[in-house]
Amino acid sequence: MLNNSTLIPLMVVLPLIMAILVNFLHQKDKSVKFISIVSLIVFVFIPVVTLYGVHLFSGHLRTGSFPEVSKILIPEVYMGIVYSYGAVQKILMVVLTILTGFSVLAVINKKMISGVYMAMIFISLAASSAIILADDIFNFFVFTEILVVAQAALVIAVQEAKSFKAAFKYMIFGTISGASILLGIALLLGSYGLLNITDLSHAIQAGGALTPIGLVAVALLTLGWLYESGLFPFHIIKSNIYENARPEISALLQVQSKFVLVAMALILFRVFSGYALLKSVILGFAIFTVVIGSVMALQQVELRKLLSFVAVSQAGLVAVGFGLGTPFGIAAGIFHAINDVLSMAILFFIASFVYDKFKTTKLDELGEGLQVVPLVGFVMLLATLAISGVPPFNSYQSEWRLIQASAQAGVPELGILVILLSVATFVAIIKAFYMIFMKPGSKVEVNKEVRGNLTKAIIVILILACLLIGLFPNMVYDPIYNFVVSLGV
């Protein structure tokens, strides 16, 4: 476990370097295109070849603390920033880099290429990688803030009044949540003198029951987590962001938020592992998000907005797995996050295709699409089945595990909730499918020039990936389960 792998920090450092590089190459589209594609291949390659392990920055080994002078409750502490790379991190990083690659290819294909835009995608990739890898709570905080700015910039790039407003709201609430995360970190630092998550969790366990200061820190960090993952009070802000970005970027944004949800929930659970109330609170917010998200999704008459609310409610479902608090539930939640980002990405790419082909995503105006683009319609039908948990697709495996986990945790009612949510998701998206592809009487003009071969290739690859995971779930699920058990949360 203690090989000081140099490849681990490269996952964060390389995207940052590339971001700076493509930023300087502004208006040199050919070189930006070349560099982006090459660096994306490298980004996908690094997580695959990296061995599990930890990286100690500047080589500071774990050393003895000085309990007699510093009142630190554990005998050994990490002196520097630590990145750790295990099974869950590997799977998340591979999915994240591949989906980022697809988004970047879609952006390049649309000739919207610009150095700054690409730089923002790379920065958001670097930030979310760092959030997934960081074992240091302050490093984690820094990258959440960077992620917020980068995501807001990606939305601002649409250059419409609505996207400016969405980005402004996102940043205003980002300031609140950032401040609350930092205040929580400050309180923990003041009480325990530690920033490393492993050490912090040991120290809190050694220290017994949480003090009131510790409890305030839990509340503040939970508020920050709700924002980063777009759960209940922040679901409108998050769905606004998804809705107002370009659809192929929304596909990327939802991956990032769901993986940040997973990473930060793991951090919360590791740090406050003995604190049962946190799990109940998370469960409460998760259920609320699921309910509101799915009800709002059913009401929408605009494809992108509908998908945004579906994405939010699915994030709630991931959080339900975490709220159960058992290793089985947490593993099922993480598994569902991975499955869901894949099928959600398909739907957002289809939205991107529909937007290019028909110049609108308003469901009332669309129709008869199946005669124009039969393949996309077929894949959308499959993706709808995939996201609402129909076998043999991947979400079936994770939702089934979620239901089983909730029965095992003694709350079978949650299993019914999960089933109801999949029904709601199915109804919402199949309505969109009907209105785009089958409804007679289309009011839109078909843009014949848009062939969208790349988008078609991407969605076919993704649906095949969904089918593959659905047929061989243990390939992904078993490493996750073993990882969660080894965390001992």
Partner 1 sequence: MEPFQVGSFLTAGVLIVTGLWALLMMDNILKKIIGANLIGDGVNLVLITIGYRPGGFIPEVMHHFHATATPSSYSHLLEFGEFASNASYSLPFALVLTNIVIGASTLSVMLALAVVLYNKYHTLSVHKMFEGED
Partner 2 sequence: MLDRVYEIFHEKMKDKGQGMGIGSALTSEFLMLSFLLIGTILVLRTANSTILGFGALIILAGVLFTVPTVFKVEKENTDSINLSSFYVALTLALLLIIFLGGI
Give the binding range for partner 1 (CB under 8 A) out of 91-99, 160-168, 354-362, 447-455. Answer: 160-168
Q: Which of 24, 34, 45, 66 binds partner 1 (CB under 8 A)?
A: 66
Tokens representing 297 are: 């999704």
Tokens representing 384 are: 């709808």
**Please, is 114 exposed, middle or buried when counting C-beta atoms within 10 Å of its C-beta (0-12, 13-18, 19+)?**
middle
Give, to the nearest 10 degrees, the angle between helix 7-24 and helix 115-133.
160
Q: What DSSP letter does each residue of 145-188 carry, written as one string?
A: HHHHHHHHHHHHTT--HHHHHHHHHHHHHHHHHHHHHHHHHHHH
**Per CB under 8 A, 174 contacts partner 1:** yes
Binding mask 377-416 for partner 2 (x = CB under 8 A): ---------------------------------xx-xx-x
Binds 294, which of partner 2, partner 1, none (CB < 5 to 8 A, cut-off by type)?
Answer: partner 2
Nearest CA among 486, 485, 335 for reference residue 1: 486
**Per CB under 8 A, 176 contacts partner 2:** yes
Q: What is the DSSP letter of 448?
A: T
Q: How far is CA 298 from CA 2, 213, 305, 384, in A?
A: 50, 42, 10, 14
Tokens representing 32 are: 């930006």
**Least distance CB 219 / partner 2 (angstroms):** 4
**Least distance CB 76 / partner 1 (angstroms):** 16
**Per CB under 8 A, 216 contacts partner 2:** yes
Beta strand 62-64 with 53-56 is unpaired
For partner 2, give the closer residue by CB, 33 or 279: 279
**Per CB under 8 A, 237 contacts partner 2:** yes
Nearest 5°: the CA angle 231, 179, 171 is: 60
Give the binding range for partner 1 (CB under 8 A) out of 37-45, 50-58, 189-197, 307-315. Answer: 189-197
Of residues 111 through 150, those in contact with partner 1 by CB under 8 A are: 138, 142, 145-146, 148-149
Tell how far CA 131 is from the center of its chain: 11
**Rounded to whole angstroms, how far apart are CA atoms 417 and 401?**
14
Give the binding range for partner 2 (CB under 8 A) out of 5-13, 153-161, 194-202, 417-425. Answer: 417-425
Task: Examine residue 392 and say whether the peptide bond preceding it is cis (omega within 30 degrees of 0).
Answer: yes
Binds 189, which of partner 1, partner 2, none (CB < 5 to 8 A, cut-off by type)?
Answer: partner 1
For partner 1, give the closer residue by CB, 136 or 340: 136
**Please, is 100 exposed, middle or buried when counting C-beta atoms within 10 Å of its C-beta (0-12, 13-18, 19+)?**
buried
**Per CB under 8 A, 94 contacts partner 1:** no
**End-to-end CA, the chain:** 19
For partner 1, give the closer residue by CB, 99 or 260: 260
Site size toward partner 2 (CB under 8 A) is 50
**Per CB under 8 A, 427 contacts partner 2:** yes
**Least distance CB 466 / partner 1 (angstroms):** 33
Of residues 330 through 369, those in contact with partner 2 by CB under 8 A are: 364
Binds 146, which of partner 1, partner 2, none (CB < 5 to 8 A, cut-off by type)?
Answer: partner 1
Q: Which of 44, 169, 302, 365 binds partner 2 (CB under 8 A)?
A: 169
Residues that bind partner 1 (CB under 8 A): 66, 68-70, 138, 142, 145-146, 148-149, 152-153, 156, 161-162, 164-165, 167-168, 171-172, 174-176, 178-179, 182-183, 185-187, 189-190, 193, 195
